[in-house]
Structure 1
Amino acid sequence: MDLPPEPRRKLDGAGQAAPPQQAAREEAPADLLSAIASALEHGQQKKLLSLCRQALDQGYSPDDILSKGMVKGMSDLGDAFSANRAFVPEMLIAARCMTAAMELLKPHMAASGHEPVGSACLGTVQGDMHDIGKNLVKIMMEGSGIQVIDLGVDVSPQQFIDAAQQHHCGIIACSSLLTTTMQGMRQVVELARARGIRDQVKIMVGGAPISQAFCDEIGADAYTPDAGTAARTAVALLRALKHSL
């Protein structure tokens, strides 16, 4: 009777077959981080926390768990949301999972000397009480390593600028869901210029009635259509800002 072929074994640097235990150790990190990403994407909070604890116990750095596991999961879900393959309830469930996992990781990140990419203040503009989109952006930004100052809803231009100056924020992120409130974003840009901080802060705008054309018209720095894109753009802007200073 023919025997099944022997499973292929990973080769070491010399071209020799690595011992099974060694191959398993080399492949485990990617497998575990992928499992973390998947658990977050599917809103499996208990599984996510268990996997994060397992990763910490096995010596993975908090940065790797965050960036290669959790952020990947949220980014994949954000892409699905942008393509209408996922919807607000899934995003909110994943956001709660992300919050719980971040609470687990924060003490380890502090102990490892983790520094945030930068800081951002965000809020929904004056006259607008909608916060779902803003909350999703907050979770995605925090998951990307940004320190976020959440100003809430109905935020005046002065509150945005005061917070940016007080907390030394590199980004002001403004959200609006109503056409009647979107002009508040223009006022934020104008006040930042009047206060003399326009070259020190990047202003991001987003929300249902906002477009790239409106962003260009008011002189903001970036328009993003969804939370995942907002987080990626914020990281890029903060890194560029650091290099320019």
Structure 2
Amino acid sequence: MIKENNILEELTRLIVDGDDEKIKEITKKALNTGIDPYIIIDALNKGMKIVSKRYEDRDIALPELILAGDAFQASMDIIKPKIKRKSEKKVGRLVIGTVQYDIHTLGHELVKTMMEVEGFECWDMGGDVPDEKFIEKVKEVNADILGLSALMTTSMPKQKDVIDALKKEGIRDRVKVIVGGAPVSQEWADKIGADGYGKDAIEATIVAKKLLKIE
């Protein structure tokens, strides 16, 4: 147990340090030791929460946040093939991206990774996505969930614009909308009529499963 805890603590530290090379080695070590992949993911997410909080408090700059995200992704690339799902059947369809006028993609990319782990089929729209592109993709793939990320206060209103566009197209009741991003809050989600709010990748995944009534 002590050895397992040491490995998990090191994984958390490597996320904070943004070491995307060393974390590959330790992730493989964790799996070879027999640590459950989901416990490893919890350790990674703990590191991301630390980094996100430091970024919100302006203790670190965006490049350091990006390095942490790269380390998270490097570890997840190794973990994902090792996760055994109850069924290979896809549990839902997710369209996700960062709203227009915002080029930051790290947050929603982490959510996409976690959703894929949980069995969602995902379409990543990237950053600076115009409202109409979200609408087109939701209709094209018949999405169950639409994830809208905003990493700047100036881009947050675009989340509401997309929701309004869904209403205008007459498809708002066909898709659940989850919003997230550093400046976003539950209060904001409620104000703009979103179905859910995810503070981080783990929480967003939990919210998505609850909205679709997935056990």
**Into which bin does the TM-score normalised by the smaller protein fall?**
0.7 to 0.9
Identity of aligned residues (%): 23
Cα distance per residue 1:112-158 (max 9 Å; x no partner): 237798654333334x2x322xx221243245x22353212342323
Give the structure 1 partner of residue 31 of structure 2: 56
Matched residue pairs, number? 206
| Equivalent position of 2:119 in the other structure | none
Displacement, 1:234?
1.5
Give 3-state SS (helix, strand or coil) of 1:243's partner: coil
**d(CA) in 2 for partners of 1:177, 1:82:** 11
The runs of 5 or more residues in structure 2 that have no matched partner are: 117-121
Map 1:28-177 onto structure 2 (within 5 A).
Answer: 28-67=3-42, 69-109=43-83, 112-113=84-85, 120-126=94-100, 128=101, 130-132=102-104, 135-142=105-112, 145-147=114-116, 148-165=122-139, 166=141, 168-175=143-150, 177=152
- Aligned amino acid, residue 27 of structure 2: C
What does the per-residue CA deviation read over 1:28-47, in whole Å, with 9 as the maximum and x for residues that have no partner?
A: 22221111111111112232
Matched, 1:186 2:155: no
Note closer, same or farther for the CA distance 1:107–1:177 as it changes in structure 2 (3 Å cut).
same
Superposed displacement of residue 218, structure 1: 3.4
Aligned residues of 1:118 and 1:238 also touching (Cα < 8 A): no
Moved more, 37-46 or 232-241: 232-241
Amino acid aligned to 1:231:
A
CA contact (8 A) 2:178 2:195 kept: yes
- How far does residue 65 in structure 1 lie from its aligned partner after superposition? 1.6
CA 1:155–1:58: 2 relative to 1, 3 Å:
same
CA distance in 2, matches of 1:139, 1:203: 14
Query: Which of 225, 231, 234 is the equivalent residue of 2:201?
Result: 231
Gaps of 5+ in 1: 1-25
Report SS of the residue matched to 1:153: coil
Cα distance in 1 for residues equivalent to 2:32 and 2:86: 18
What is the root-mean-square deviation of aligned Cα atoms in Å? 3.3
Alignment partner of 2:192 out of 202, 218, 229: 218
Distance change >3 Å, CA 95–CA 161, structure 1 → 2: same
Change (3 A) 1:65 1:161: same
The 1:244/1:86 distance shift into structure 2, 3 A limit, reads: same
Secondary structure, counterpart of 2:21 in structure 1: helix
Q: What SS does structure 1 have at the residue aligned with 2:171?
A: coil
Q: Secondary structure at the match of 2:166?
A: helix
